Amino acid sequence: MSPTDQSAVRLRPEIIALPAYRQGKAAAASAFKLSSNENPFGPLPGVIAAVGAETAYNRYPDASASVLRERLAARYGCSPDEVHVGSGSVALLSQLILAAAGPGDEVVYSWRSFEAYPSLVTVAGATSVQVPNRPDHGHDLAAMAAAITDRTRVVIVCSPNNPTGTIVRAAEFEAFMASVPSTLLVILDEAYAEFVTDPDAVSGISLLGRYPNLVVLRTFSKAYGLAGLRVGYGLGPVAILDAARATAIPLSVTGVASAAAIASLDVDDELMERVRTIGIRRDTIWRALTEQGWNTPAPQGNFIWLPTGAETAAAAEALGAAGLVVRPFPEGIRISIGEEESVDELLRTCQDLVRNLPMGHSARRLG
Ligand SMILES: Cc1ncc(COP(=O)(O)O)c(C=O)c1O
């Protein structure tokens, strides 16, 4: 062991034990990167021009991203103070958890879900309470409500859920909100909301102003294709957002990121056309997989979920060998909807995979 492998400095043991954030694997030039739920379309010319015009790098950015906040407030019919912008929605998750939960407190969320949740909770010094997904891979909101104790300070609801792609229905969510104390912060993480086509899905935007304890998170990383610039936003009651703002690392949303987000809102129609294209591609892939015999939940984000269980490592390897870099989890494989050219190979490889799944495997449709 080298002298730097283990520090004599007293660090928090729960932090030392944390796994480092595992980023979606990079892809070779000849492969398709379907591991990080990114948008396969590059930025539109107007967005590139807005970024290029933002050259005052010698100056700090506007700490509150006020122009972007005003723009979002006008879009959603709320006040700019009811909008909070962060360097990605993951930053907002961190701030909200820090604002509400500390040592001895609990944060409830469904599991498996977004892999950043456990570490953000640990960093805050709080304790994760993970409620298993239902057998259909969706959130078990009744079980989540039942998991709330006097120590619970935050509940995170993720719709569509990363990595399973399932949505929470509006009626289910409203029943859940009615059953939880209004002193408990509920975060509705809607990183993939723009891809949703199921009319029964919850839409945080339609609930704004209804609940004193609800914050809705959105991002420019996925539908808007700005993952590399890091900008996301939260919508909700001013007092909660003020608390989040108080925990934020100041000045972390750059002027370039704000400019790109504003320019993206200017070309919203074109971007949403791309989102529709990705949604159609997703549904085509899902239907083909279902015909091949896969038992996989109807996807509502920009990714599909193969619940391959014990077969995951071998299946991910086969996909990788076919030039498709995907994201394996212990329970299954998440595959982002990528370039059109990736689809044929994906379906060919999945056809072989489903044929080779053991009889009775839960990822195989019965009959
Ligand atoms: C469910 C969910 N929430 C939040 C995020 C964070 O996205 P960003 O920080 O890029 O806005 C992600 C990213 O993958 C996600 O899947």
Q: Which tokens in the block code for residue 344?
A: 């044929």
Query: Residue 249: how many CB atoms within 10 A of its CB?
Result: 10
Give me the chain's average pLDDT, please. 96
Query: Residue 51: how many CB atoms within 10 A of its CB?
Result: 18
pTM: 0.96
Residues 258-315: tens digit of each pLDDT? 999 999 999 999 999 999 999 999 999 999 999 999 999 999 999 999 999 999 999 9
Ligand 1: residue of 93, 110, 158, 162 to mutate (most ligand atoms within 8 A of CB) is 162
Ligand 1: residue of 219, 253, 327 to mutate (most ligand atoms within 8 A of CB) is 219
**Atom number of ligand 1 nearest to Cα 227:** 10
Q: Is 339 left (phi over 0), alpha (psi -120 to 50) or beta?
A: beta
Percentage of the chain modeled with pLDDT above 90: 93
Alpha carbons 183 and 211: distance in angstroms, whole number: 10
Per-residue confidence at 1, pLDDT binned at 50, 70, 90?
Answer: very low
Q: Which tokens in the block code for residue 250?
A: 């100041």
Look at ligand 1, atom 2, and give the residue with the nearest C-alpha. Answer: 191
**Ligand 1 pocket, 96 CB below 6 A?**
no
Task: Write down the pLDDT at residue 22.
Answer: 72
Q: 173, 204 in Cβ contact below 8 A? A: no
Residues 47-76: tens digit of each pLDDT? 999 999 999 999 999 999 999 999 999 999
Alpha carbons 36 and 317: distance in angstroms, whole number: 17
Q: Which long-range contacts (CB under 8 A, 24 or more apart) does 7-15 make?
A: 14/122, 14/125, 15/122, 15/123
Cα dist. 339→31, 228, 327 in Å? 11, 18, 16
Alpha carbons 309 and 301: distance in angstroms, whole number: 21
**Ligand 1 pocket, 37 CB below 6 A?**
yes
Task: Write down the pLDDT at residue 5.
Answer: 67
**Atom number of ligand 1 nearest to Cα 222:** 10
Interval between CA 220 and ligand 1 midpoint (Å): 10
Residues 164-203: tens digit of each pLDDT? 999 999 999 999 999 999 999 999 999 999 999 999 999 9
Q: 89, 219 in Cβ contact below 8 A? A: yes
Interval between CA 269 and ligand 1 midpoint (Å): 22
Task: Rounding to the nearest 10 degrees, give the CA dihedral for residues 145, 150, 154, 159.
Answer: 0
Alpha carbons 39 and 29: distance in angstroms, whole number: 17
Task: Write down the pLDDT at residue 115.
Answer: 96
Single out the residue of 304, 315, 297 nearest to residue 343, CA to CA: 304
Domains located in the chain, CATH noted: 13-38+269-356 (3.90.1150.10), 54-266 (3.40.640.10)
Please compute the mean of the pLDDT values over residues 234-244 and round it to a whole number: 98
Q: Which tokens in the block code for residue 208?
A: 């704004």
Query: Residue 292: how many CB atoms within 10 A of its CB?
Result: 17
The 3-state secondary structure of the chain reads CCCCCCCCCCCCHHHHCCCCCCCCCCCCCCCEECCCCCCCCCCCHHHHHHHHHCCCCCCCCCCCCHHHHHHHHHHHCCCHHHEEEECCHHHHHHHHHHHHCCCCCEEEEEECCCCHHHHHHHHCCCEEEEEECCCCCCCCHHHHHHCCCCCEEEEEEECCCCCCCCCCEHHHHHHHHHHCCCCCEEEEECCCHHHCCCCCECCHHHHCCCCCCEEEEEECCCCCCCCCCCCEEEECCHHHHHHHHHHCCCCCCCHHHHHHHHHHHHCHHHHHHHHHHHHHHHHHHHHHHHHHCECCCCCCCCEEEECCHHHHHHHHHHHHHCCEECEECCCCEEEECCCHHHHHHHHHHHHHHHHHCCCCCCCECCC
Please compute the mean of the pLDDT values over residues 319-332 and round it to a whole number: 97
**Ligand 1 pocket, 158 CB below 6 A?**
yes
